[in-house]
Amino acid sequence: MQKVTFKNQYDMKVAGNLFIPKGLKRNAKNPAIIVGHPMGAVKEQSANLYATKMAERGFVTLSLDLSFWGESEGKPRNAVLPDIYAEDFSAAVDFLGTRPFVDRNRIGVIGICGSGSFAIAAAKIDPRLKAIATVSMYDMGAASRNGLRHSQTLEQRKQIISEAAEQRYVEFSGGETKWRNYLPLKLSENADPITREFHDFYRTPRGQFVPKGMPPELSQNRAVTAEIKFLNFYPFNDIETISPRPMLFIMGENAHSREFSEEAYRLAAEPKELYIVPGAGHVDLYDRVNYIPFDKLTAFFTKYLK
């Protein structure tokens, strides 16, 4: 593994970890896979694991920090700009496709959680991504607009928009940034099951990683005025135009996020596959190698990046 950086088209430095399989033939052109981390995470949380395991299976892999997160550039930190997130995946293709040991016609992508929706957004306008896999995908647009299982009403959405708009005046006038505290450091007694599931990963040694210079209580969290940017994000619009490039949607049987993979699969054109991991929840597929179907991912990319 070696640390790398490259620029996206907005002249922002994107940081990544490049994994080279042992025994790689450097004088040959090899397939490569980009791995995107969950929303609010960094590459050290889940993406590096996937990149390592797929490199062990013979693929050149690149895990990246999305702009505004981790070691990548972008201010303010933890900003929400899904168009730039999608651009980062294309910039990763730029980088990999110019390595002498990578076949630029055999580059695929794995998007975990929110990065699944960003990878799809990138693939719709970047045909260089030849095979697209998502794991525990969140459609960050639909989740922000409607809540899980459409639990948020239009009036509640409008209230969130109104509060964020008023908060812009506060911050423009020099006031403090207001954060959506999705994931407190200490779990409250009445925390809901989904918060508990994320807390068990992000706030425990299992998956805790606080980027340098980031207060622990702000890691994984986003500003109120930034979060509403997701309301304009519709990654599944025109998803069928990715065809004939293949898509694989992996989700846990018990994942609270199932609706997003199921909807993407419904809308996508062939070739497509929905793969359900028995007994697994959403966060299980971040790091529990007994659940993560690496054999399935290997077969998918071996077939379609041949």
Domains of the chain, each with CATH number or no CATH: 2-147+233-304 (3.40.50.1820)
Q: Give the pLDDT confidence of 264-280 residue by residue, as tens digits.
A: 999 999 999 999 999 99
Mean pLDDT confidence for 278-286:
98
How buried is 214 (Cβ within 10 angstroms: 0-12 exposed, 13-18 middle, 19+ buried)?
middle
Q: Place 25 in a pLDDT band, splitting at 50, 70 and 90.
A: confident
* pLDDT tens-digit map of 139-157: 999 999 999 999 999 999 9
Mean pLDDT score across all residues of the chain: 97
The CA distance from 148 to 271, in Å, is: 27
pLDDT of the residue at 283 = 98
What pLDDT score does 182 carry?
85
Tell me, what's the pLDDT at 48? 98
Task: Centre a 10 Å sphere on the Cβ of residue 89 and count the other Cβ atoms it contains.
Answer: 27
pLDDT over 70, % of the chain: 100
State CA 87 to chain mean position distance: 13
Average pLDDT estimate for 129-134: 98
Residue 5 is predicted with a pLDDT of 98
- Cβ partners under 8 Å of residue 277, min gap 6: 250, 251, 252, 253, 284, 285, 291, 292, 293
pLDDT reported for residue 76: 95
Whether the model pTM is above 0.75: yes
pLDDT at 26: 83
Rounded Cα distance, 150 and 180, in Å: 20
Q: Which residue has the tokens 């994994």?
A: 19
